[in-house]
Structure 1
């Protein structure tokens, strides 16, 4: 049997000429298995150097592993993103799953009760004054009371007969009542005062967007939370798991998933007068790439989604090409999670190397899954997929090896014989 190998590859920086005589060796019919494997190993070593020039469906697992934790200078690309890899086990999956995002609460620092309800500019009030005698300022033989309609003016004040100008804006109903009462004690007969609220434009919030009825919602005196005012606007037009709530308060803005607000009471903050709430429908999606049966952008279509369900939505990995040890999930993660996974020392080291957050303050992290272990089917059920995640299934190194050997004209059977060696070298 005569084995001829033709090759023209860049190996360790040197061009190997395409000369049959340089790569030719003859074997007799009694070729020993170890000799064949020796030749296979030699071809594989050359092939692994040349496989990088073979077209592929993204990086190999070894390339992702190699770039993890390296600076742009170490990688050799000026603007390369600095990231780290975390192996997902039972502990890691639970840490990520148990983390609760608190975007609105962190942004506004709001907790506890609704705050103090005060009178504001434009509010309509009904001031009722009672007197004990029929000959008082506000009483007659028929009635011992008088009701005065008041509108708080732009300067925060309003006029009351026999009292004068009273400051209402910024005061509670009781504080305004006490001021009026103090002014009347020397003028009216045993007076008493009750103040009621009519229309209160200063105590309203705007709810718009993907709700059934956009409106300005007046707030009651006890205070209302985000879900309360959304309900008064007819509720969202979409499911909570694909509805995002954006709250604008002055110059600050915070956005959270309605599902998170419903499930986490700390996120269901009390709104304040003047707040603007916008509800938008944005179906949560993830992207599935690599050695899978369907490369696509896929909607969750459910309240929650774990890793196994996400891969299944893309019809799973391609059995002929996928590397079971090379499933990766790329994500910009909240800093609290990154610190919990990496620790402060490793986090600081990556920051010095150039790891940078995105516009929302989240840091790049790559989760690695080894689907060759049985417990991965359990771990994958507890690891949550988030919107905009990228799940990448790397191809097996033997795939590129086979392609390369075809390019150089070597027998493909050598790749089959040496697949195990290639796998070991890549690990």
Structure 2
């Protein structure tokens, strides 16, 4: 009688624990493959689940278009001869009279005016010549103008004008460069690459570096590598340009049965699904289901319509792309499928993993039932 009671108690505890496990669910990293497919629009879900093939990889191969507008590319180089507001000039004026020169003391024939700054309106002041427009002129043109103004007051004056670096033709360079600052546009630094070299070069990883230029109300950027590889992107600089070197901010999230679960920044201009998985240590061989690799994305309607062969979708669409790495073509598709900013790469657990967890839970429950029965018998 006691034996039957003991067995009955063990059985009841086992059934109760298994029921509790079934009701509460086993621990896991996320939905399984069956549950993801059940969320498809075809199953009255809210996402389009699409198997990746060659057509899908072509339709979704969108990378950031980083380039300068034509207005940047067509701007001519600033010459060192053009005077701008804020520039600093040195003037030397020679007079052909020694006894009573106009600008200097008796016995001196040369007058030197140093650090003459061009004001915000583009003028300088020269004694006996008054306010003279300097901005927009070359030093030679300004020399001729000053000579003409003085010629009526002193016989045959000779004028020399030299332009030195000032605040008129400068740009600011900041961000990931060795030496941030405001730099004058001089002969070696009239182009973007020359100015970056003047600022000590780029101090971040070149493969993820972007160069942003703001000119007036327009801001655009390019990849640093494109700047060095394509001479057409090496634009001429204009006074007031703002140059910022910054790191690529794109990232994706890796979840599920991968080597690690984390937010991962891009380390190249383009990133494939295969590379994204490799970045986080690959698939976890003890957990992963290689037939259940998914990429979750909010896809613009233009691309979503192309992927699905439709033309009636409007607004961003929830898309789930499916990759099967057990197939040879699946590996090629994963290599060609482009991961984009904000994507979630999720790898499901293999079905046997859940079986193992279930068996572990049951055997653990059985052990607990034996213990409980032993205690009851005592």
TM-score, length-normalised on structure 1?
Answer: 0.58
Q: Distance in 2 between matches of 1:347 and 1:145?
A: 82
| 2:299 is aligned with 1:328 | no
Q: Distance in 2 between matches of 1:379 and 1:345?
A: 17
Instruction: Tell me the secondary structure at the aligned position of residue 278 of structure 2.
Output: helix
Q: Distance in 1 between matches of 2:337 and 2:140?
A: 53
State the match for 2:29 in structure 1: 57
Instruction: Tell me the secondary structure at the aligned position of residue 58 of structure 1.
Output: coil
State the match for 1:224 in structure 2: 190
User: In the TM superposition, what is the alpha-carbon distance from 1:203 to its structure 2 partner?
Assistant: 1.6
How is 1:25-424 mapped onto 2 (pairs within 5 angstroms)?
Answer: 56-61=28-33, 64=36, 87-90=51-54, 93=57, 99=63, 101-102=65-66, 105=68, 110-114=72-76, 116=78, 119-127=83-91, 148-149=113-114, 150-169=116-135, 176=142, 179-180=145-146, 183=149, 195-220=161-186, 224-249=190-215, 253-254=219-220, 257-263=223-229, 265=231, 267-280=233-246, 286-298=252-264, 305-319=271-285, 321-330=287-296, 339=302, 342-343=305-306, 349-351=312-314, 354-355=315-316, 367-385=321-339, 389-396=343-350
393-402 vs 150-159, greater mean Cα deviation: 393-402
Per the alignment, do residues 186 and 87 of structure 1 end up closer, same or farther by CA in structure 2, a change over 3 Å counting? farther
Q: Distance in 1 between matches of 2:294 and 2:262?
A: 16
RMSD: 5.1
Quick check: 1:286–1:300 contact (8 Å CA) kept in 2?
Answer: yes
Unaligned runs of 5+ in 2: 1-14, 16-21, 364-378
Per the alignment, do residues 64 and 128 of structure 1 end up closer, same or farther by CA in structure 2, a change over 3 Å counting? farther
TM-score, length-normalised on structure 2?
Answer: 0.64
Q: Distance in 1 between matches of 2:155 and 2:48?
A: 79
Q: Distance in 2 between matches of 1:173 and 1:332?
A: 58
User: In the TM superposition, what is the alpha-carbon distance from 1:296 to its structure 2 partner?
Assistant: 3.3
Instruction: Tell me the secondary structure at the aligned position of residue 121 of structure 1.
Output: coil
Instruction: Tell me the secondary structure at the aligned position of residue 273 of structure 1.
Output: coil
Q: Distance in 2 between matches of 1:196 and 1:242?
A: 42
Quick check: 1:207–1:276 contact (8 Å CA) kept in 2?
Answer: yes
Q: Distance in 2 between matches of 1:62 and 1:173?
A: 78
**CA deviation map 1:9-32 (0-9, x unaligned):** xxxxxxxxxxx9xxxxxxxxxxxx
Q: Distance in 1 between matches of 2:330 and 2:308?
A: 29
Quick check: 1:211–1:279 contact (8 Å CA) kept in 2?
Answer: yes
Quick check: 1:242–1:284 contact (8 Å CA) kept in 2?
Answer: no
**CA deviation map 1:33-76 (0-9, x unaligned):** xxxxxxxxxxxxxxxxx999765422344555565679xxx757
Per the alignment, do residues 163 and 381 of structure 1 end up closer, same or farther by CA in structure 2, a change over 3 Å counting? same
Unaligned runs of 5+ in 1: 1-19, 21-49, 77-82, 357-363, 410-427
Q: Distance in 2 between matches of 1:295 and 1:178?
A: 72
Per the alignment, do residues 91 and 295 of structure 1 end up closer, same or farther by CA in structure 2, a change over 3 Å counting? same
User: In the TM superposition, what is the alpha-carbon distance from 1:85 to its structure 2 partner?
Assistant: 6.0
Q: Distance in 1 between matches of 2:241 and 2:40?
A: 43
Q: Distance in 1 between matches of 2:146 and 2:174?
A: 39
Per the alignment, do residues 134 and 250 of structure 1 end up closer, same or farther by CA in structure 2, a change over 3 Å counting? same
How many aligned positions are there? 337
Quick check: 2:254–2:262 contact (8 Å CA) kept in 1?
Answer: yes
Per the alignment, do residues 116 and 211 of structure 1 end up closer, same or farther by CA in structure 2, a change over 3 Å counting? closer
Per the alignment, do residues 245 and 339 of structure 1 end up closer, same or farther by CA in structure 2, a change over 3 Å counting? same
